[in-house]
Amino acid sequence: MFDFFRKKRQQKALRNEDDKELFVRKYKAFQNILKNNNEVLMTMADMQEKATGCFLFDRAYINSSYQRVAHGIKEIVNNLNILSDEKYKDLVIAYQKNDEAIRNTLSRKAAIPLAGYVLPLSEIGKDSSASTGGKLALLGELANVLGFSVPPGFIITTYAYETFIKHNKIDDILKEQTGKLNIRNYDELTATSQKMQKLVRNAEMPPDLEAAIFAAYRGLCDSVGKKDLAVSVRSSALHEDIMASFAGQYDTALNVPAEDLVVQYKNVVSSQFTPRALFYYKDKGFHLEEMAMAVGIMAMVDAKTSGVMYSRDPGRPEEDVVLISAVWGLGTYAVGGIVPTDSYRVSGGDGRTVTREESGPQEIMLTVEGKGGTRQVPVPEELAKQPRLTHEQVLQLASCARRAEKHFGQPQDMEWAIDRNGRLYFLQSRPLRLPASLASPEEKRPRVIKGHKILLDKGVIASRGVGAGPVYVVKSEDDLAGFPDSGVLVIRHTLPEFAVVLQRASAVVSDIGTVLGHLATVAREYNVPAIFNTEKATRVLTNGMQVTVDAIYANVYEGVVQEILREKKTADPFRASPVLKQLQDILQKITPLNLTDPRSPDFTPRGCKTFHDITRFAHEMALKEIFEFAEDTYFSERSAKKLVSKEIPLDWLVIDLGGGVRAGAKGKDVRPEDIVSIPMRAMWEGMTAVPWKGPPPMDTKGFLSVVAGSATAPDTLARLADKNYIVVAKQFCNVSTRLGFHFSTTEAYTGEEENQNYISFIFKGGGADDMRRNRRAAFIARILDKYDFRVEVKQDAVFARIEGHTQRFLEERLRVLGHVIVHTRQMDMVMYNERMVDWYYKDMLKAIESFVTVTH
């Protein structure tokens, strides 16, 4: 009879080395899923952080980040289908649908409005950038909304630029040249630049465009009451100062007479093809169509003093400080750093504290030339010893800086000039590019707020911010129903199922968790502050307690700390940027998580609405598939080695997938010390740490229950004839054990990336009657629950899992698991009442704690 069952089981086994090769192939697919899942979640986390508006980035960042996400998701889907024998083909449809939608968003080109060739500066504002370019749109906002003085003028629009390019039929040539350009090859870059600039400068000006320019110029002369007015010709590319600064990339012509207007217009347009500008926009990932150039024609300011002003100190943006640099003459020497400047620091809410620092005497200055152009002259002796700004002028500038920052909702970088009559003009205002590491002002406050009790001061930031509210401790999904609005979610583990209450939460605090997990991703999506890995939040924080969560410095305070809460950002740098909006738009198709509960009928490939859903679904299914494959595969003995051990004298067959057995181990036998698989070593240590005492003493009812249970189990003899399998790799093990009348399967992966780590465990069966087997299952579940496993019990079967923790954390749990597997042998026979269950529970905890160190 034993032979009969053995042959039946072996019919399922693969012959020769095929079983190992198949397992290796599937294991590699499984590893690829874990690897790509981790990389995708890391990239998504970084994109979410950038989307807060506190960090600077450009179009190239969005494109490259999305390419990584899309490639990773595709690899996850492909490898899941390899692992499951094409069971999840519908997942490809979900991937393609999201990928197409996101790529359409990314490839959407900026539309150039059908407008006139010229627009008066007095009629434009920040919403005019599609026609006027970013720089002039912001300048128009200063003049026409804030009432700042700017030089009068007009704009030659982006539509005029498009007309100019198409009239000369050079648009296709420019696209071809820029499309194939290798900007890393300097010789190729300079040669292409010269060719393209020459093409533009030699191009013909369309007669109607030229007529429109001169008509607008004559109107400008009339408005200021000066014939043959000298002007400045300034660049204003479509996204200049909005999607990227383009600072210093394009040319400006100063003090231009009427007869040179057309030439200087073409010079400014051609400057978008200088080597530095080509490199900049190609490196930033822009398209040529997005480089449409508007050009500003403004009355020339004969500046006595000019300079640059920052509404914040980039080194200390949290302080209410305005920085001003000033030079004699035109501002070109200030922005170029050509001459020493007078530097002014204006601090205090009233703006009355002014500190001046002269970096050296200014000996030369740039001035306007009578017949056009500029010239360098010595600084007059009467000016050389004077401050370049009066106290009143400094305060006037600082006041304007604060108004501009408040209006635009972010720090400003401004250029200004004061003419020889003492009148102040603004020439530019653009977002101040703060260093990414300094862009969040609350980081500069004290790490600890004095006078408030700190309850927790340890953890990792999963989602930045601050929040306060009543504590609500959630131990399982059943607790979620009562979660209050603005509650602080306090949890032991960061389970994805808890995401359903994040829209109502003011903060999240956990004992354990990874910043790359699903709950962290959703917390960042909803902008909910979150601190993970506090170790003891569920022990220190109690229901109803009012707390303030500082997810900037990872502190949790007792009570409501207003000093922290009022620092919530009211204006984020970069908020108005279209590139920020584009990132936020595509994240709506990437990061929302709809699939939180694997038991839901919607937990299917068709239920995956976002890329995050795909990673969640694929991760869950990958664990299920690799586990079931290992459980259902019966390796032929020819492909396995035999484990020889006196400690646990059972038949063990070891299959090494690579790196799980010591390289020098030869022959068909291996010893326990030959196994170098990290998770298997930990599990074996738990199996052998405490010698098994043998079967517990059995009463008559226990003996009869075993006989009855054996008689009713159809595969009892088959199970007794089974081998025990250990499938190992360096960071992986799958252990199938059949000890007497019960069997268990354990699978684990442990590595440096905690988001990839997991343990899965199934225990089932026994020799006693149903009631005693069920009690043992509940007993095992109770032990594992205490050691942080997620446990589900169905009659005499236990299903347990733990994931997303450090290697060391899981090694300790594997030791616990090893002990449980060995020391629950035949225990069902004595589980005749709950009192015995409690006695064995305490006894086993005492044994486990003798060799395992775990903080609960």
Average pLDDT of span 178-185: 74
pLDDT at 570 over 50: no
Q: Look at residue 516 in the predicted model and tell me its pLDDT.
A: 67
Averaged pLDDT of the chain: 83
Average pLDDT of span 542-547: 95
Task: Return the SS3 of 321.
Answer: strand
Cβ–Cβ < 8 Å for 329, 273 = no
Average pLDDT of span 605-612: 93
Instruction: Place 703 in a pLDDT band, splitting at 50, 70 and 90.
Output: very low
pLDDT at 546 over 90: yes
Instruction: Place 624 in a pLDDT band, splitting at 50, 70 and 90.
Output: confident
pLDDT at 293 over 80: yes
The Cβ of residue 4 has, within 10 Å, a number of other Cβ atoms equal to 11
**518 carries an active-site annotation:** yes
Integer Cα distance of 65 and 152 in angstroms: 43
Cβ–Cβ < 8 Å for 297, 231 = yes
Q: How do 303-310 and 530-532 pair as beta strands?
A: unpaired
State the pTM of this model: 0.56
**CA–CA distance from 201 to each of 170, 192, 270 (Å)?**
12, 14, 6
Output the CATH code of domain 118-299: 3.30.1490.20
Residue that is written with structure tokens 């980081």 in the block:
443
Q: Higher-confidence residue: 577 or 699?
A: 577
Task: Return the SS3 of 712.
Answer: helix
Selected catalytic residue, list 239, 452, 493, 518: 518
Burial 25-61 (b: 16+ CB within 10 A, else e): ebbbbbbbbbbbbbbbbbbbbebbebbbbbbbbbbbb
Instruction: Place 252 in a pLDDT band, splitting at 50, 70 and 90.
Output: confident
Q: Give the pair of three-digit tokens for residue 80.
A: 């899941």
Nearest residue to 151 (alpha-carbon basis) of 160, 161, 142: 142
Beta bridge partners of 729: 658, 732
Fold of 303-419: D-amino Acid Aminotransferase; Chain A, domain 1 (3.30.470)
pLDDT at 720 over 50: no
Domain spans, the chain: 18-108+587-630, 118-299, 303-419, 441-568, 636-848
pLDDT at 664 over 50: yes
Cβ–Cβ < 8 Å for 716, 5 = no
Lowest mean pLDDT, pick from 344-353, 460-469, 628-637, 672-681: 628-637
Average pLDDT of span 296-325: 88
Q: Look at residue 697 in the predicted model and tell me its pLDDT.
A: 55
Integer Cα distance of 574 and 580 in angstroms: 7
Instruction: Place 436 in a pLDDT band, splitting at 50, 70 and 90.
Output: very low
Integer Cα distance of 719 and 456 in angstroms: 51
Give pLDDT tens digits for 143-169.
Answer: 999 999 999 999 999 999 999 999 999
Classify 372 in phi/psi space as left (phi over 0), alpha (psi -120 to 50) or beta. Answer: left
Q: Look at residue 558 in the predicted model and tell me its pLDDT.
A: 95
Q: For the chain, count helices (H), then strands (E).
A: 25, 30
Give pLDDT tens digits for 323-370.
Answer: 898 999 998 877 766 778 888 999 876 657 888 887 678 889 999 988
Q: Look at residue 685 in the predicted model and tell me its pLDDT.
A: 93
Fold of 441-568: Glucose Oxidase; domain 1 (3.50.30)
Q: Look at residue 288 in the predicted model and tell me its pLDDT.
A: 61
Give pLDDT tens digits for 92-114.
Answer: 999 999 999 999 888 776 668 88
Q: Look at residue 633 in the predicted model and tell me its pLDDT.
A: 62
pLDDT at 3 over 50: no
Q: Look at residue 617 in the predicted model and tell me its pLDDT.
A: 94
